[in-house]
């Protein structure tokens, strides 16, 4: 849905902007795609301004995702840039970073340009491109980071593949400083986790399934943070899923090493016992861990040790996820459930309120990626999400806008839902357009 507007007034909503420590009921005026004023005087409001009544709802900066697999080109059966963009809008995201896991991968100027042009055609969320860290994503030779930067890449990563080459990671962290761009690495020692299906714990033992040991992540995090300290490079680690990772990240941050980290929503609410069903929708990455890991991760998000929440959107076609658990790929659709997952399972924890949720979903990831967004400051792009914090709804993957319908949250009742998403002041998503009125 697109409603062209030059001026728009959002009234009655609880405006939350962590970047300005704002949390109050206020009016928000948008003019020509940018924030014109919070609580404008009546004389500032153009007569032609259209109105959205946000009474009882939250008005916040649109969410920013640090890593979404869009799968185009090469795997359009899983997702396309257009379908991924639609799903992101429905989830309240206004900017997403597109992973390099396409075919061909995003290791050239042309590959970056392809994604950017497709995103323009989709006319949805702002799609920022993550360029490959290594050529062909094979961890042998560093990609042409300078050319990728010139083409418009905003970060470098081979994710969801980890970077096993220590020397390459070190050189890349040093080299990327020339462009002030972050390197994003998914921590995993492949020689320890190869062939694993689920969290390596008591449940995996009982089920007779090969496990994904926590030390595979912990050792990778330890190496990454040590190299980041040695190079003073911009390193983002994530998503993480273990107590060991949290402990390492907390300790290096206390020493003043400026790394950042993120976590996926499914690792904050579901544990490995779900795999007792042998249902492939619970085969996700990072894997569902044991309850102790979930408790530690939630506390780390609440106290800021983990800076950001990313969706972990790894779409895979229905026929791929219909395989037996061993043969089925890791993957899930999560853009459309991220906000509700956090609202349902995280709010109410000590130190975690709506302002903290907006920070982890919007303000912090925008800062980490160095992209516009994450605030409602006067003059900023009017990338806005409106949330009904009390709406209860049942997750049904068949209703997703994503091509991927597989979600570990299927059939669960969640609380909190995005009702509007605005990109550049334009309403790009409305949950119930037939009942909303713009006057």
Nearest Cα to Cα of residue 156 among 34, 254, 85, 137: 137
Tell me phi and psi for residue 350, to 5 degrees.
-55, 125
State pTM to two decimals: 0.96
Residue found under tokens 């290791």: 107
**pLDDT, position 439:** 47
Nearest Cα to Cα of residue 85 among 126, 130, 128: 126
Q: Which two tokens stand for residue 30?
A: 């948008």
Cα-Cα-Cα-Cα torsion 170, 175, 178, 180, nearest 10 degrees, comes to -40
Rounded Cα gap, residues 125 and 362, in angstroms = 14
**pLDDT, position 438:** 52
Task: Give the burial string for 65-97 (b: 16+ CB within 10 Å, else e).
Answer: bbbbbbbbbebbebbbbbbbbbbbbbbbbbbbb
Residues in the chain: 439
Consecutive 10-residue averages of pLDDT for the chain (439 residues)? 70 98 98 97 93 97 98 97 98 98 97 97 97 97 97 97 97 97 98 97 97 98 97 97 98 95 98 97 98 98 98 97 94 98 95 97 98 98 98 98 98 98 97 64
**pLDDT, position 355:** 98
DSSP notation for 126-149: EEEEEEPSBGGGSSSSB--HHHHH
**pLDDT, position 432:** 86
Rounded Cα gap, residues 78 and 253, in angstroms = 37
Bridging pattern class, strands 58-61 and 7-17: parallel
Rounded Cα gap, residues 117 and 290, in angstroms = 42
Instruction: Count CA within 13 A, CB hemisphere, residue 387.
Output: 30
User: Longest C-alpha distance within the chain, in Å?
Assistant: 70
- All domains of the chain, ordered by start, with CATH? 62-369 (3.20.20.140)
């Amino acid at each position: 849905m697109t409603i062209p507007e030059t001026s728009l007034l959002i009234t009655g909503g609880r405006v939350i902007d962590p970047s300005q420590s704002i949390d109050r009921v206020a009016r928000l005026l948008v003019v020509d795609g940018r924030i014109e004023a919070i609580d404008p005087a009546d004389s500032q409001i153009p007569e032609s301004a259209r109105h959205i009544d946000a009474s009882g709802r939250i008005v916040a900066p649109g969410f920013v995702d640090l890593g979404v697999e869009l799968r185009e080109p090469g795997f359009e059966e899983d997702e396309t840039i257009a379908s991924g963009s639609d799903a992101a809008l429905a989830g309240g995201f206004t900017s997403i970073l597109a992973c390099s896991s396409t075919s061909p991968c995003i290791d050239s100027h042309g590959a970056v340009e392809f994604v950017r042009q497709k995103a323009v055609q989709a006319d949805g969320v702002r799609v920022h491109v993550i360029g490959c860290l290594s050529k062909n994503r094979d961890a042998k030779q560093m990609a042409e980071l300078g050319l990728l930067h010139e083409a418009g890449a905003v970060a470098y990563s081979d994710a969801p593949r980890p970077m096993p080459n220590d020397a390459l990671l070190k050189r890349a962290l040093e080299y990327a400083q020339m462009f002030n761009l972050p390197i994003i690495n998914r921590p995993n020692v492949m020689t320890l986790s190869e062939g694993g299906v689920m969290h390596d714990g008591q449940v995996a033992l009982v089920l007779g399934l090969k496990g994904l040991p926590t030390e595979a992540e912990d050792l990778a995090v330890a190496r990454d943070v040590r190299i980041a300290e040695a190079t003073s490079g911009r390193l983002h680690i994530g998503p993480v899923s273990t107590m060991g990772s949290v402990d390492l990240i907390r300790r290096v941050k206390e020493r003043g090493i400026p790394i950042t980290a993120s976590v996926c929503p499914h690792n904050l609410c579901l544990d490995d016992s779900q795999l007792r069903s042998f249902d492939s929708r619970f085969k996700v990455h990072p894997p569902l861990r044991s309850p102790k890991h979930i408790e530690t991760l939630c506390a780390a998000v609440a106290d800021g040790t983990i800076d950001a929440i990313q969706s972990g959107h790894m779409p895979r076609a229905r026929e791929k996820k219909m395989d037996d658990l061993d043969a089925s790929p890791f993957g899930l659709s999560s853009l459309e459930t991220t906000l509700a997952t956090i609202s349902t399972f995280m709010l109410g924890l000590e130190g975690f309120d709506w302002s903290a949720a907006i920070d982890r979903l919007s303000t912090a990831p925008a800062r980490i990626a160095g992209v516009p967004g994450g605030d409602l400051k006067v003059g900023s792009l009017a990338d806005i999400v409106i949330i009904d914090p009390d709406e209860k709804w049942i997750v049904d993957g068949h209703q997703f806008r994503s091509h991927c319908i597989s979600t570990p949250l299927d059939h669960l009742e969640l609380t909190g839902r995005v009702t509007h998403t605005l990109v550049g002041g334009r309403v790009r998503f409305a949950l119930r357009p037939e009942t909303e009125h713009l006057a």
